[in-house]
Copies of this chain bind each other. A is one copy, B any other.
Amino acid sequence: MFEKLFENIRKKIVITEREEEICRSLFIPKKLRKRQYLLQQGDVTKYTAFVEKGLLRSYIIDDKGAELIMQFAPEGWWINDMYSAITGEPAEQNIDAIEDSELLLLTTQGYEQLMQEAPVFERFFRLQLQNSFVALQRRLKGNIILTAEEKYKNFIQAYPNIVQRVPQHNIASFLGITPESLSRIRKQMAER
């Protein structure tokens, strides 16, 4: 159950047996069925989730009812509503499972406790966050500069495994274009 987690952690920091034990005691295993929510808009975030198996997504619904997918999280990725987690305010995002999934959950208190008992995790989460931040900057840049077709090409290159696993309109939502546009782009690409 914890294989992917420790693999993920050890890519960034060195941890002792003791620290591994602390992790095992703080992370809560949880299975999620396809379509099941981990977090719903308006609820307060309780968990930061690590995905051992399966695929989740986080997304927001804006005033006009438009859906925007903020993140896909396949095995080996972390996911939460950072805003809600750090402020304690109700979540703006929804998080649910695209596939049946197995998660390891860290509660907000568990998070603090982990920092206290194994301070090396301050470093881990900082490094983790730095990478996420850079990735997000990339995405913003791409979204502003690229055409819809280029955005899609980038996406299938960057996340070939995800393309296969999610419905097409989810990809459109992630890219910030309409499902119709994406359909047309794919058609055009196929014709060449």
Residues of B within 8 A of A136 (CB): 133, 136-137, 140
Main secondary structure of the interface of A (DSSP, over half): helix
How many protomers of this protein does the assembly include?
2
Closest to A134 in B: B83
Selected interface stretch from A3-11, A17-25, A62-70: A62-70
Judge if A145 is at the interface, Cβ distance under 8 Å: yes
Judge if A14 is at the interface, Cβ distance under 8 Å: no
Selected interface stretch from A94-102, A124-132, A153-161, A181-189: A124-132
Q: Are B68's CB and A145's CB within 8 A? A: yes
Contact flags (1/0) for A98-113 with B, using CB distance below 8 Å? 0000000000000000
Interface residues of A (CB under 8 A from B): 60, 62, 66, 68, 70, 82-83, 86, 115, 119, 122-123, 125-127, 129-134, 136-137, 139-141, 143-145, 176
